[in-house]
Structure 1
Amino acid sequence: MSTKTIQGTPAWLRATNDRTALSLLLTHGPLTRNRIGELSGLSKPTASQMVQRLNEAGLIHAVGEVSAGRGPNAASYGVRVDRVLGIAVDISATVIAATLVDASGSVHPIVEIPVQRQAKGRSAVSDVRTAIDAACAANGADRAAVQFVCVGVQAAIDPRTDELSFTDTLPGWPRIGVRKLLEDSLGIAVTIENDVNLAALAERRGGAVADASGFALLWMGPGLGLAVDLGGTLHRGAGGGAGEIGYLPVPKAAAQFDPDADDLQDLIGGPAVVRLARDHGLRGRGFSSLIKQFGVEQVGKGAAPGPREHLIAELAPRIALGVIPVLAVLDPEVVVLGGPTGIAGGDQLAERVQAHLRRTSRWAPVVVASTVAAYPVLTGARAVLVAEVRERLLRDVERIATP
């Protein structure tokens, strides 16, 4: 075993102290040597030695000065967040979105790359490489500093076999060994995650359900998905296929809404929402355009119900039917309505669904609209990557522990 890993040795103590200092800088932002000493409980000389070692190793750098009263100003130090980078990627049927992620967790510009669903020459490697290059270019970042990528996909991922299923929106992607293929081809660590699971991570970290004991996120867009959070842990299923709720057969009660519906995708998926929106007077060329109109709040209380209100009234009982199987099996404290349809429907739709469930079923969950409206998949991927980038920087401390 290496000397630097043996507890109680000087090298171990240096590594422990330096990790503490770097952790403080990651948590609090730029700090002076004295402030690092105060927060760590270590002496000023020890704090100065930690800062010197981290600075010489290129892990931190001076970023400014802080007034020290009558004496000279004190230098403040921050983490070199450009040293290790990640790229968050969201691949949908029509767009690849990507953004840079660093240890600070700051939000960086997002790039969107239109793609053709059946475009020739697409592959997993080309999709992800294009996303990485575009995100780096948009932020002026060094491509060589990218060590991690987290990719959200509309598919189920079996962690045991590195196998993808339900891959309709990923032309050219292999079903077996995609993570290994990407890591070997790109030379970086790759995480592949279901897009709705990443959206659920975003809800847990900064949404309306941050303090809930558990919740279910019903994602409604062109397709349907479900993410289940059990006490802060995502339930992915034995083969990663938990949450493919669009394939769930509809109950007999759904015949009153659509006698031809065979599954939940037929009842509340994108094509069904488009049809209902047009029936109620909304006009648009496709799902995105109609959802944009649906998301416009009605102006003025007491006004006569318009297309939005009529559409909400018709969608709510359909959604409630889709939620009941989830309640029967998992009984989550909160149900979040997310995805384009859930976000566009907002609080009005959530309140209607909640009222319908409480009136017609044995369950009484709280139903809320997603509060992570902008790029929820990228937001979840960013959370994954911030943790990975920070851990890599902290591990780098061990490299400087032995003189």
Structure 2
Amino acid sequence: MPASPSTARAINDRQALRLLQHEGPLTAGQLKQLTGLSRPTVADLVERLTAAGLITVVGESGEQRRGPNARLYGIVTDRAHLAALDVRTEGVFVLVSDLVGRVLAEASVPIGGDTGTGPAVEQAVAAVERTAKEAGADRLHTVGIGAPGLIDPATGDLRDSGGLPAWHRSLAAALQERLPGARVTVENETNLAALAEQREGAARDRDTFVLLWLGHGVGAAVVLDGTLRRGASGGTGEIGFLPVPGTGSLPSATDCDGGFHSLAGAAAIGSLAAECGLPLPATIDGPGAAAVIRGAVAEAGDSGAVHPGGPLVGVTRRSGDSGTAHRGAAHPDGERPAGRFLHALADRIAIGAASVVAVLDPGCVVLGGEVGQAGGPLLAGLVEERLRRMSPLLTEVRASTLGGTAVLRGALLTARDRAQDELFAPRDRN
């Protein structure tokens, strides 16, 4: 059955808004060309969207003579303001953007581990309010929060997770109370990182991939056929609890020590670096572990594989390789400290990655987080070489291009999508 006139108008409006979102300001003629709609239909939709306050004239095209045909139309970006939060054990990062995702203000607020739940929540909420004020936002339309831990798929709430501060679970409700007009959503941080890598980072050409988050802790996010998979209890990707060889114990339901976390978490990376004789920063958290890896990569060289004694062997690349190096077999005996460290770390990461590959066969694993980004193509290539020896399933390994910023970017993308879905929703605009 053909669409009714009102439905057709709504669909055309939504298409035009999406084009203006992705392509930037356009003339009516450019909208006609990109949508394939007739000139009168485009003229009608421009009039409707302008009357609805969703688009406005933002300039004139240099390719056109002055007049109606030269007018450039763009989305009214201050129609709604958005906030994104990256909630961590030690604090919170906040940014506020306009409707198209342009960042207007941002802040970082440390929250000490001995801070009580009430004061910690107040510090975080106050940071959001200050950042919104700095951005010139009278109100926030949507707030996206990325946090560690499990998200209950039935309620969307952050579940009680051992080892995480209690204020994490109270933050969303407090924001909703202080910002009554805002729509507040919470998502697992690793899932948001995967969304950001797929939209803006290392997995832009992939509908199916696994993000292996390597930072203060470890986690994974699974994207299959373009859809993020959360699992029955919201726990897909809790790879830190994966029982693995080499840890000396087993994880429990409330403690991931003894699981993959004990091989590839920040503390484990620090211990491995010390064993290899590498200098350590004062604090071994996600950024601290990343600093160790950047130093090792710089010492080993970023143009080829690590070879015993220090010389680097050649690197060959395939067309469309996205920077992942294909290297010869590893020979860890007798290497310099940086080489021993990188080979041993690749061994550890490959153990967790191989388990995921054997079950899901994603074809691509992105090493995310601060650690994955710091290791770059060199560490990704070493992990890929090990996977080729451990698994019959061909798997490309890529380094994150967003690193630790991926969670905040994912939270912003989620907030932007939700706000635009509501404001751009198909409706009859007479």
* TM tier, smaller: 0.7 to 0.9
Question: Does residue 210 in structure 1 map to residue 204 in structure 2?
Answer: yes
CA distance in 2, matches of 1:213, 1:68: 37
The aligned counterpart of 1:100 is: 96
**CA distance change for structure 1 residues 351 and 48 in 2, over 3 Å: closer, same or farther?**
closer
Q: Normalised by the size of structure 2, how large is the TM-score? A: 0.78
Q: Is the 8 A contact 2:262 2:268 kept in 1?
A: yes
Q: Normalised by the size of structure 1, how large is the TM-score? A: 0.83
The aligned counterpart of 1:298 is: 298
CA distance in 2, matches of 1:88, 1:131: 12
Question: Does residue 344 in structure 1 map to residue 374 in structure 2?
Answer: yes
**Residue 243 of structure 1, CA deviation:** 1.6
The aligned counterpart of 2:189 is: 195
The aligned counterpart of 1:250 is: 244
CA distance in 2, matches of 1:274, 1:61: 54
Q: Which amino acid aligns with 2:291?
A: K
Q: Which amino acid aligns with 1:385?
A: A
Q: Which amino acid aligns with 2:52?
A: A
What CA RMSD, in Å, does the superposition of the two structures yield over aligned residues? 3.1
Q: Which amino acid aligns with 1:115?
A: I
**Residue 170 of structure 1, CA deviation:** 3.1
Question: Does residue 388 in structure 1 map to residue 384 in structure 2?
Answer: no
- Which range moved further: 375-384 or 327-336? 327-336
CA distance in 2, matches of 1:290, 1:173: 24
**Residue 264 of structure 1, CA deviation:** 1.9
CA distance in 1, matches of 2:26, 2:160: 47
CA distance in 2, matches of 1:147, 1:45: 33
**Residue 79 of structure 1, CA deviation:** 1.0
Q: Is the 8 A contact 1:26 1:103 kept in 2?
A: no
Q: Which amino acid aligns with 2:50?
A: N
CA distance in 1, matches of 2:393, 2:119: 45
Q: Which amino acid aligns with 1:285?
A: A
The aligned counterpart of 2:363 is: 333
Question: Does residue 64 in structure 1 map to residue 59 in structure 2?
Answer: yes
- Alignment partner of 2:179 out of 180, 186, 189: 186
CA distance in 2, matches of 1:69, 1:341: 49
- Which range moved further: 158-167 or 190-199? 158-167
Question: Does residue 55 in structure 1 map to residue 50 in structure 2?
Answer: yes
- Which range moved further: 31-40 or 187-196? 31-40
**CA distance change for structure 1 residues 16 and 330 in 2, over 3 Å: closer, same or farther?**
closer
1:246-285 pair list within 5 angstroms? 246-251=240-245, 262-279=258-275, 280-285=277-282
Residue ranges of structure 1 left out of the alignment (5+ in a row): 1-6, 256-260
Q: Provide, for residues 134-187 of structure 1, a one-character-per-residue CA deviation record: whole Å limited to 9, x for no partner.
A: 43244x23131x211110001111121435132533333448xx7566535532
Q: Which amino acid aligns with 2:420?
A: R
Q: How many residues align?
A: 384
**CA distance change for structure 1 residues 331 and 254 in 2, over 3 Å: closer, same or farther?**
farther
CA distance in 2, matches of 1:19, 1:330: 35
Q: Is the 8 A contact 1:117 1:171 kept in 2?
A: no
Q: Is the 8 A contact 2:57 2:72 kept in 1?
A: yes
The aligned counterpart of 1:159 is: 153
**Equivalent residue of 2:403, what SS?**
coil
Q: Is the 8 A contact 1:254 1:321 kept in 2?
A: no
CA distance in 2, matches of 1:101, 1:39: 27
CA distance in 2, matches of 1:115, 1:95: 4
CA distance in 2, matches of 1:108, 1:265: 36
CA distance in 2, matches of 1:148, 1:309: 46
CA distance in 2, matches of 1:205, 1:46: 31
CA distance in 2, matches of 1:309, 1:112: 35
Q: Which amino acid aligns with 2:25?
A: P
Q: Provide, for residues 265-299 of structure 1, a one-character-per-residue CA deviation record: whole Å limited to 9, x for no partner.
A: 22221211111222322132111345314213426
**CA distance change for structure 1 residues 362 and 32 in 2, over 3 Å: closer, same or farther?**
closer
Q: Which amino acid aligns with 2:84?
A: A
CA distance in 1, matches of 2:33, 2:78: 27
- Which range moved further: 28-37 or 233-242? 28-37
Question: Does residue 171 in structure 1 map to residue 166 in structure 2?
Answer: yes
The aligned counterpart of 2:397 is: 367
- Which range moved further: 196-205 or 359-368? 359-368
**CA distance change for structure 1 residues 19 and 218 in 2, over 3 Å: closer, same or farther?**
closer
The aligned counterpart of 1:111 is: 107
**Residue 133 of structure 1, CA deviation:** 1.9
The aligned counterpart of 2:348 is: 318
Residue ranges of structure 2 left out of the alignment (5+ in a row): 249-256, 304-308, 312-334
**CA distance change for structure 1 residues 76 and 209 in 2, over 3 Å: closer, same or farther?**
closer
CA distance in 1, matches of 2:382, 2:271: 20
